[in-house]
Structure 1
Amino acid sequence: MTDLLYSEDETDLRAAVRALLTARADPAAVLAAPGAESGAAADPALWRALAAEVGAAGLLVPEKLGGAGASHREAAVVLEELGRAVAPVPYLTSSVVATSVLLALTPGAETEALLRDLAEGRRTAALAVPLSLAPGDPLPGGTDRITPVADAASADVLLVPGPEGLRAVEARDALVEPLIALDLTRPLAAVTVPTGAGTPLAGAAESERAVRRGLLTGAALLASEQLGIAEWCLAETVRHTRERHQFNRPVGSFQALKHRMAGTWLEVVSARAAARAAADALATGSEDTALLTAVAQTYCSRVAVRAAEECVQLHGGIGMTWEHPAHLYLKRAKADATAFGAPGRHKETVAALTGLHSP
């Protein structure tokens, strides 16, 4: 394992992404967006700016295909900032999961052309599997209705695994039905693909390996998004309790609240270590990637939910209102806790990989 501290390049990338999100997608702006109540996609201009101007969409794509040739550590930094802003952009689904699936395939003209489009932000893609699917779960087959698929409604291309292999299907050629989601900032949809639609990209065996690589990458880097959620919730809670007064004292000075926030801080620090370890394992090709991913998901899922719940509760009555963005973080944290496998599923993976299963 390499140094888990943030490098200078990672710090500079964080500053660029945070500046963009602060200007165009702070939590108040996300809440006030026209599609906030319907779960519709955010302003496409935000995605174009993140993908093209900052260059975040192509971080994992090699330079020869128009990307930045960066590592998963840099992608993790972007996801931390997107988590802090609960930004409704398809970065995790398109620039991380779908891109990782394509990169795991044998290079071909169709694959490389699609990777160039994704890297430049001209198009987005979504892997057509249930969002709850864990890296080790059986993959769906056939062309039956697949649900729920994250960001399918806004994707240009769907990567559809099946018995014959992986196909790239234009979204307009599939039936995509929007669903009501808990987290309105990450829209879900049911996808039905007609038999024979799309362009074949790989055979069955190669397709399964590539899809599992995409799911593993998604689960590992989702921990960084969960870290960003927890960090914002803790910082916002500390800020509010400093400014809110009762009995002529800041409520944050009350011992009971200090203990709760201190406990959350310790959990957030530990979550940062777990998320960074998972991202670094992907970046270095560590043989412990599956284990570190399962550990990160088991821990970071719980920390994000706990921090969001504390944020809502310690804001008092205002934390329960639609006007305050705390509910966005709680919904994203709850939804993320079921994405790419629930914590209990990842605990089973940890037990299996460490030999803790009962004989």
Structure 2
Amino acid sequence: MSTQPDLLYSEEEEALRAAVRDLLTDHCDAAGVIARAETDAPHDLSLWKALTDGMGLAGLLVPEDRGGQGATHREAAVVLEELGRAVAPVPYLTSAVVATEALLACDGGGELLAELASGRRIGALAVGLHTAPGGALTTVRAENGTLHGEVSAVADAGVADVLLVPADDGGLYAVEADAVTVTPQTSLDLTRPVATVAFDGASGRRLGDAEPAVRRALRAGAGLLASEQLGLADWTLTETVRYLKDRKQFNRPVGGFQALKHRLAQLWLEVVNLRAAARAAADALATGQDADVSVAVAQAYATSVAVHAAEEALQLHGGIGMTWEHPVHLYLKRAKADSIAYGTAGAHREALAELVDLRAP
């Protein structure tokens, strides 16, 4: 007999949140993120080291006997909420979640899994960021242990030490980053850049079967992306409310105008609903119960809320919101990029319809 999941945050999860938020407050200020986004190296590797070496957060999803912390997707979701609140330019979702989950599905990646769990190395799954769980993959050609071809729109490829590559023979291969050519692509999200990865005879070590590993990785990525989108939406709502309390027009706070109160109340309801959906997805991934359905529900809903929250923040901040110096543009760009990451809302609605047998006629 199944019991209803408890989606409230535990004391341990709240303590984890407080620790991560304190670290990000000290090491991930908005001005620094904006300045870094203007360079050729947008990733904050010193912050990554603090998150991984200092706090051990890269190994949350990895069992202790395999070199990790032995936590669950619920704890990883809390971390991603805080990273979303700060639009932190670190490869947590791509390495500590997606690449790690792919390795957990393979028998041959034990040493590499421990390296990713410790944060000593960064991994990236060589799949386009837009790929939905169960979606069509762009594979490279495997020929006598070497790989040939290219994959575009690979998130955080530029900072990865090792790439996990699906090949046309059905295998998932580990390829060292210095054996491939990584060409940055123009990315809307300046804090999670994408790149084209070209394989020209790169040697790869087969880890296991690609299909189940990639499916597992993308499902976890999509499910926990909702927590990042929740953190983003929560920050934009909180900052907008704070700004409208301070900003005055006609000698009264702008936030006192009824029309704006209604807009903010509507947005608050959307964020609360998103929290429920994101928590349900994280809990389902942790327990393995109805994970496909919960992930599809979360992603079918999260995109519109995150984008709406960021758009409202941009508009309601008035002129200052349109400037490069204010960080709200980073949140809108992340929200828009997230809206197609690991499948669009429409793709997840289609998947959900199949899962619950409510297909369109």
The TM tier, using the shorter chain, reads over 0.9
User: What's the offset of the Cα at 1:336?
Assistant: 0.2
Deviation digits for residues 72-115 of structure 1, max 9, x if unmatched?
00000000000000000000000000000000112x3xx11111
User: What's the offset of the Cα at 1:358?
Assistant: 3.1
Structure 1 counterpart of 2:232, from 206, 215, 229: 229
Deviation digits for residues 303-347 of structure 1, max 9, x if unmatched?
000000000000001101101000000000000001001111111
Residue of structure 2 equivalent to 1:116 = 114
User: What's the offset of the Cα at 1:39?
Assistant: 5.5
Distance in 1 of aligned mates of 2:8 and 2:40: 36
TM-score (norm 2): 0.95
User: What's the offset of the Cα at 1:220?
Assistant: 0.3
User: What's the offset of the Cα at 1:2?
Assistant: 1.8
Specify the code of the residue in structure 2 equivalent to 1:155. A
Matched residue SS, 1:21 = helix
Matches within 5 A, 1:30-41: 30-33=33-36, 36-38=37-39, 40-41=41-42
User: What's the offset of the Cα at 1:351?
Assistant: 1.3
Distance in 1 of aligned mates of 2:48 and 2:59: 13
Structure 2 counterpart of 1:247, from 244, 247, 250: 250
Residue of structure 1 equivalent to 2:63 = 62
Distance in 1 of aligned mates of 2:201 and 2:81: 39
Deviation digits for residues 180-224 of structure 1, max 9, x if unmatched?
10000001100012345211111xxx3210110000000000000
Is the aligned partner of 1:167 residue 2:173? yes
Q: Is the 8 A contact 1:40 1:184 kept in 2?
A: no
Matched residue SS, 1:194 = strand
Q: Is the 8 A contact 2:43 2:159 kept in 1?
A: no
- Mark the runs of 5 or more structure 1 residues left unpaired by the alignment: none
Structure 2 counterpart of 1:331, from 323, 330, 333: 333
Distance in 1 of aligned mates of 2:62 and 2:225: 19
TM-score (norm 1): 0.95
Residue of structure 2 equivalent to 1:345 = 347
Residue of structure 1 equivalent to 2:51 = 50
Distance in 2 of aligned mates of 1:266 and 1:2: 21
User: What's the offset of the Cα at 1:163?
Assistant: 1.8
RMSD: 1.1
- Mark the runs of 5 or more structure 2 residues left unpaired by the alignment: 141-147
Is the aligned partner of 1:149 residue 2:154? yes
Distance in 2 of aligned mates of 1:300 and 1:73: 17
Distance in 2 of aligned mates of 1:39 and 1:2: 44
Specify the code of the residue in structure 1 equivalent to 2:86. A
Structure 1 counterpart of 2:357, from 344, 355, 358: 355
Matches within 5 A, 1:245-284: 245-284=248-287
Deviation digits for residues 43-76 of structure 1, max 9, x if unmatched?
3111000111111101011111221000000000
Structure 1 counterpart of 2:182, from 160, 164, 176: 176
**Seq. identity, %:** 63
Paired residues, number: 350
Distance in 1 of aligned mates of 2:287 and 2:356: 21
Distance in 2 of aligned mates of 1:350 and 1:64: 35
Of 134-143 and 309-318, the range deviating more from structure 2:
134-143
Q: Is the 8 A contact 1:39 1:186 kept in 2?
A: no
User: What's the offset of the Cα at 1:38?
Assistant: 3.8
Is the aligned partner of 1:126 residue 2:95? no
Matched residue SS, 2:157 = coil
Moved over 4 A (4+): none
Distance in 2 of aligned mates of 1:353 and 1:181: 33
Residue of structure 2 equivalent to 1:303 = 305
